[in-house]
Amino acid sequence: MGSFDIDSIAPYDEAKVKEAIQRLLDYPQFLNNLAECIYKGSRGSTARISSFLKKSLPDALRQIRSYDDFQKQITCRYLLPQIVMNSMDRFTFSGIDSLDPSVSYTFISNHRDIVLDCALLDYALFFGGFSNLCEMCLGDNLMVNQFSKDMFKLNGGITVMRSLPAREAMQASRILSEYMQLALENRKNIWIAQKSGRSKDGIDNTSTAVLKMIYLNYRKNGIPFNEAAKMMRIVPVSISYEYDPCDITKGREEIKKLRNEGVYSKSRYEDLLNLLRGLRKWKGNVHIAVGTVLEDEYETPLDAAREIDRQIHLNYRLWDTNYFCYDFINNSEDFVSQYEDFKERAFLHRYKGIDRDVLRYVLNSYANPVVSMLNEKKLLENR
């Protein structure tokens, strides 16, 4: 099966968790690095967080026996509270109470931040009383060293193999599909983005390729898609950030692609730097809206994708940044009542001096969720 199989893409088992925890405890710079990952403020304030982690974490780490322990006892009790406190005005969530904690789900989410989208869903599930949090599907491009691999796998990471030749890519998809089905059957929740890579333009449309990949193992076993879709227990998830910490870098990347005939070469650590930027930088208000399980008859992946999109677009919590950018771009006052206290000049000053095409792209990325919402409402009216 080549160089990868189910065991190689799965989160760490108990033996590997023990080894990873020991690696972290044996690495003197670990806690300093962790403090800098979750907070980049003044040297003094970062040092205070590092000091807090040094006092609190070693004993907590020694109690960890599984990645589930790590998610709950380390990520949800130590790391995420610091990220929320240091980079958000407020974190809220809705829809968790409509789910059954005794049942496993496939959470299919829009994708804004490399790791926070899923981590914050875990945080919401944690507060919602779920005993099982999510195993998350993320690309192997993020595992650039042992530390990043350990942190990913200790948080329930499922490795998605990227940049493979066609035959190996198909093999990897089959293995991933098989693993996801087994995980659901073993009462594990799964998180996967609605398409490959973060949404850089603010348009949250589900790729049917994702659903076709999940379906591969069901299809191999002769299960028609409409039945498999119910077995997957798909729940659409919509996450919205008032301010995207990576908005300018996303815009620059996309404009470079447009100017270079679709080609953009990332440096080795570029994804890791974007990951850190997403963790540290200011996000304002953040909301996760959990939708309802897809229970109707969905005959094709396209049918299911359409329902996922509908829920994500209508459940998306729109902020003053979204409404302002929509009006600003369209030279309208359609939503002026939604941003009466918004500091327009301060917002636009964030982008002072950047390329005009990049600015237009960034402002559209904030406006497009409003466009998606309006389009969904028009569809509802025309039914």
pLDDT band at 41 (very low <50, low <70, confident <90, very high): low
* Residues 300 and 333 both lie in one domain: no
**282-339 confidence digits (pLDDT tens):** 999 999 999 999 999 999 999 999 999 999 999 999 999 999 999 999 999 999 999 9
* Residue whose C-alpha is closest to residue 10's, from 73, 79, 67: 67
Whether residue 323 lies inside any domain: the answer is yes
| Residue 129 structure tokens | 């009383």
Q: Which residues contact 130 (CB under 8 A, 6 or more apart)?
A: 96, 99, 101, 189
pLDDT for 322:
98
DSSP summary character for residue 223: -
CA 105, 110, 113, 114 torsion-angle sign: positive
Burial (CB < 10 A; 0-12, 13-18, 19+), residue 268, is exposed
Domain end point (choices 317, 334, 360):
317
pTM for this predicted structure: 0.94
Whether residue 243 lies inside any domain: the answer is yes
Whether residue 65 lies inside any domain: the answer is no
Work out the mean pLDDT of the chain and round it to a whole number.
92
* Residues 278 and 299 both lie in one domain: yes
pLDDT at 128 over 60: yes
pLDDT for 2:
46
Whether residue 60 lies inside any domain: the answer is no
Which of left, alpha, beta for 272 (phi over 0: left; psi -120 to 50: alpha)? alpha
Phi, psi at 194, each rounded to 5°: -70, -15
Domain end point (choices 317, 345, 374):
317
pLDDT for 330:
97
* Residues 310 and 326 both lie in one domain: no
Residue-number span of the structural domain to which 143 is assigned: 90-317
Domain end point (choices 275, 295, 317):
317
Q: What total of structural domains would you count in the chain? A: 2
* Residues 298 and 373 both lie in one domain: no
Q: Which residues contact 293 (CB under 8 A, 6 or more apart)?
A: 99, 105, 233, 234, 235
| Owner of token pair 């089959």 | 174
* Residues 371 and 228 both lie in one domain: no
- Higher pLDDT residue, 109 or 140? 109
* Residues 191 and 295 both lie in one domain: yes
